[in-house]
A and B are shown apart, each in its own frame.
Chain A
Amino acid sequence: MDSQRVGTRGIGVLDDGEIQFPTGLFGFGWCRSFHVISCDSMPNFRWLVSLDKPDILFLAVETYAMFPEYRVNMSEAEVEALDLLSVEEAAVLTLVSISGESGVLTTNLLAPLIVNPATRRGRQVILDDSGYQTKHAVRSGAREWLDASADTEIG
């Protein structure tokens, strides 16, 4: 199957505001609308606040900004399903978590969020056979870092 590398120039192209995931995220099928909020003190990170269920909050990273060698290959049909005119312009985000008592910040490189910045619609895709992990280490000391970074004026 033909596949194309997605989002190579897509860093910083997704403005703050509402985005839609028409099929939800894995395990969160009912969470379809999110508010994207960037944070000056955490460059390349975005908050995703659920508009369907206010208790649900994710932190995501602009994956290419942090891992320039990252590869997202999608079939032409998958790219078309997102109405992407240019695959390179897609925003690629991966969800962030914190693991273990020491607080290692990890990101899910196996299942990136691919968002069309023009239509503001996206999908979480699973990169089967990519070898990527759900818990790829980003940095240690995550809790202190988040604590220091997150209390920031937004707007």
Chain B
Amino acid sequence: MLVLTRRSGESVFVAENIEVTVVSVRGDQVRLGIAAPSDVGIVRGELVNEVRKENKEAARAIAIASMKVSRSQCRQESVLKLSRSDAVNQDTDVGSRRLSFNRVGICT
């Protein structure tokens, strides 16, 4: 990570079109001003981390809850079948487009 020391009122540019200015420093709080194109998303870091964590938990919980014993095999097959049926012909592959989800015990 690049670490820079800045004083209040000073700024840094990220690329040519994003300027981050230190507006004020008071105790352990720093106020930042960010000037960026309107299509650049600006979100507080803790929210990004929270959403990353939640996405991972969701993928894990759903995977555990919805898979048969040989889960990656089942998944791979179904994905291959789905991709192939889309690429080639929807009609010929309908019989094999079966995603089998869990009926065995669901672990935690």
Q: Do A and B come from one complex?
A: yes
Determine the residue in chain B with the shortest Cβ distance to A143: B106
- Contact (Cβ within 8 A) B51 A155: no
- Contact (Cβ within 8 A) B75 A57: yes
B50 shortest CB reach to chain A, Å: 6
Known: A77-B39, A78-B39, A125-B41. Is A26-B59 also a contact (CB below 8 A)? no
For A123-155 the 0/1 string (1 means CB < 8 A from B) is 011101000001100000011001100111111
Q: Pick the contact of A128 from B44, B78, B100 — CB < 8 Å?
A: B44
In the bound complex, residues from chain B placing their C-beta under 8 Å from that of A25 are: 55
Q: Pick the contact of A154 from B43, B55, B98, B102 — CB < 8 Å?
A: B98
- Contact (Cβ within 8 A) A126 B97: no
Assembled-state Cα–Cα distance A152/B75 (Å): 14
Count the A residues whose beta carbon is within 8 Å of the partner chain — how many? Answer: 50
Known: A56-B59, A143-B106, A155-B97. Is A111-B38 also a contact (CB below 8 A)? no
Consensus secondary structure, chain A interface: mixed
- Contact (Cβ within 8 A) B65 A98: yes
- Contact (Cβ within 8 A) B38 A77: yes
In the bound complex, residues from chain B placing their C-beta under 8 Å from that of A65 are: none
B108 shortest CB reach to chain A, Å: 6
Interface residues of A in 49-78 (CB under 8 A from B): 49-51, 54-59, 75-78
Assembled-state Cα–Cα distance A47/B100 (Å): 12
Q: Pick the contact of B102 from A56, A126, A134, A150 — CB < 8 Å?
A: A150
- Contact (Cβ within 8 A) B99 A47: yes
A4 shortest CB reach to chain B, Å: 13
- Tell yes or no: B66 within 8 A of A by CB: yes
Determine the residue in chain A with the shortest Cβ distance to B47: A126
For B83-108 the 0/1 string (1 means CB < 8 A from A) is 10110000001110111111100101
A145 shortest CB reach to chain B, Å: 10
Nearest 10 Cβ contacts at the A-B interface: A27-B52, A150-B101, A77-B38, A155-B97, A97-B58, A134-B54, A77-B39, A98-B61, A111-B51, A155-B94
Interface residues of A (CB under 8 A from B): 1, 17-18, 25-28, 35, 37, 47, 49-51, 54-59, 75-78, 80-81, 95-99, 101, 108, 110-111, 124-126, 128, 134-135, 142-143, 146-147, 150-155
Beyond the given A77-B38, A151-B103, could you list 7 further A-B residue pairs with CB under 8 A, ordered by the A residue number?
Answer: A25-B55, A27-B56, A35-B83, A57-B67, A101-B108, A110-B54, A151-B101
